[in-house]
Amino acid sequence: MALVLYSWDTNRNAFKALIAAEYSGVQVDLVQNFQMGVSNKTPEFLKMNPIGKVPVLETPDGPVFESNAIARYVTRLKPDNPLYGSSLIEYGHIEQWIDFASLEIDANISRWLYPRLGFIVYLPPAEEAAISFLKRALEALNAHLASNTFLVGHAVTLADIIMTCNLYGGFTGIMTKSFTSEFPHVERYFWTMVNQPNFSKILGVVKQAEKVPPVQAAKKPAQSKEAAKSKPKEAKKEVHKEPAKPKAEAADEEEEAPKPKPRNPLDLLPPSKMILDEWKRLYSNTKTNFREVAIKGFWDMYDPEGYSLWFCDYKYNEENTVSFVTMNKIGGFLQRMDLARKYAFGKMLVIGSEPPYKVKGLWLFRGQEIPKFVLDECYDMELYDWVKVDISDEAQKERVSQMIEDQEPFEGEALLDAKCFK
């Protein structure tokens, strides 16, 4: 019986059911082409979850929403599943840690992270409270893990799956090494868990956040003077990486209209004759004679002074043993590249008809270098070797054309998937 999970492919909440399914021998398929913000607003989706939140599992007996409920459902499909422990008290402890992971860990990570990403209003005292509740929870977890490899008993249970997925949100999003090093047993536990084969199959390579995301300037709320004054010094020092401002300047800022965002240095380059959006439109609208229309159009438009082309080659192809995990990894990469949409076009190919698959890509960037903000913000960049295309070399030019076109066979091999960033 195949179950369908509605979610985008790098959602920590969807990972819970996918990992539980791996342990339980249950098949759960991610729905194809899910677009957050669009697919979860349709009347059909709202019938499955009236508040439009993701994930939702479609079962033969109807939908289930709430990620923990979905993971429990998947787990219970296997009778006497060891993921639920082997006694009533183990079951009690598993449920205890699931609630703890959700209400004490995940909720406080979200209260810390989401305002910084601009999802909800940013208030320094609320952030301070979230960090302090999170630390209290992590201290308790750290103490438990000092003498336990797993949360309950001597093997992975559903509690470990849910805890790890929730920690994953923190480790990859906001909990830097300097934050987590206070909790060494949690660190050891997290890295051990994400490297278990049934986890890594779903999660791929996990990389810890290198910095606390800056507060999104555009969404910074007008804060009351009281709130600003009660900003605790210690939390401010820890969370904000900017040097402290002189008092007068900080006070002035409260009264001022929000400052315009600093311009991206790429906006300051001399104008280019190539209009990226025109190329993207041509790419999207060409349905037939792709070589003659789109590829020819590309080379006609291409401005080697204003733009550069780059080949990328995944460094760890031997890890690409599962087709949908490989495709998910690229889906995640392209999502994270969203910040470069005004300045880039990309094509990523998953090559081969059987594992391990090779991942290679082609990128067009504004300017002569890979933009610094992309290298800084998108950690996937360092998972690839990057080589600038020499367009005076006809063979390299032809390779560019083939990659844009998804030509198959590509370098003698079938294509498993081709994703476009436009």
Ligand X SMILES: N[C@@H](CCC(=O)N[C@@H](CS)C(=O)NCC(=O)O)C(=O)O
**Residue carrying structure tokens 């296997």:** 78
Query: Environment class of residue 317 by beta-carbon count within 10 Å: exposed (0-12), middle (13-18) or buried (19+)?
Result: middle
Residue (107 or 415) nearer to ligand X, CB:
107
Supply the minimum distance, in Å, between the C-beta of residue 299 and ligand X: 41
* Tokens at 157, concatenated: 């249970």
Supply the minimum distance, in Å, between the C-beta of residue 396 and ligand X: 41
Side chain identity at 352, as an amino acid letter?
A: G
Supply the minimum distance, in Å, between the C-beta of residue 70 and ligand X: 7
Supply the minimum distance, in Å, between the C-beta of residue 45 and ligand X: 10
Which has the closest alpha carbon to 389: 328, 295, 313, 288?
313
Residue (52 or 306) nearer to ligand X, CB:
52
Supply the minimum distance, in Å, between the C-beta of residue 330 and ligand X: 20
Phi, psi of 48 (to 5 degrees): -80, -40
CA–CA separation, 14 and 81 (whole Å): 20
Residue (55 or 371) nearer to ligand X, CB:
55
Residue (67 or 157) nearer to ligand X, CB:
67
Q: Can you tell me which of 9, 10, 11, 113 binds ligand X, judged by CB under 6 A?
A: 11
Residue (9 or 319) nearer to ligand X, CB:
9
Residue 326 interacts with ligand X (CB under 6 A): yes or no: no
The CA distances from residue 351 to 2, 14, 283, 359, 417, in Å, are: 26, 26, 21, 6, 7
CB 109 within 8 A of CB 175: yes
If binding means CB under 6 A, how many residues of this protein chain bind ligand X? Answer: 9
CA–CA separation, 243 and 233 (whole Å): 13
Helices (H), 101-196: 107-116, 124-145, 158-173, 177-180, 184-194
Nearest 5°: CA angle at 165, between 118 and 101? Answer: 90
Supply the minimum distance, in Å, between the C-beta of residue 43 and ligand X: 15
Supply the minimum distance, in Å, between the C-beta of residue 206 and ligand X: 17
Site for ligand X in 43-102 (CB under 6 A): 52-55, 66-68
Helices (H), 240-289: 247-255, 276-285
Residue (63 or 125) nearer to ligand X, CB:
63
Residue (157 or 166) nearer to ligand X, CB:
166
Angle at which helices 12-24 and 67-76 cross, to 10°: 10
Residue (44 or 80) nearer to ligand X, CB:
44
Supply the minimum distance, in Å, between the C-beta of residue 46 and ligand X: 11
Helices (H), 66-105: 67-76, 88-100
Residue (67 or 326) nearer to ligand X, CB:
67
CB 330 within 8 A of CB 346: no
Supply the minimum distance, in Å, between the C-beta of residue 8 and ligand X: 9
Q: Can you tell me which of 3, 5, 9, 13 binds ligand X, judged by CB under 6 A?
A: 13
Helix, strand, coil tally for the chain in percent (to 5) = 50, 15, 35
Residues contributing to the site for ligand X (CB under 6 A): 11, 13, 52-55, 66-68
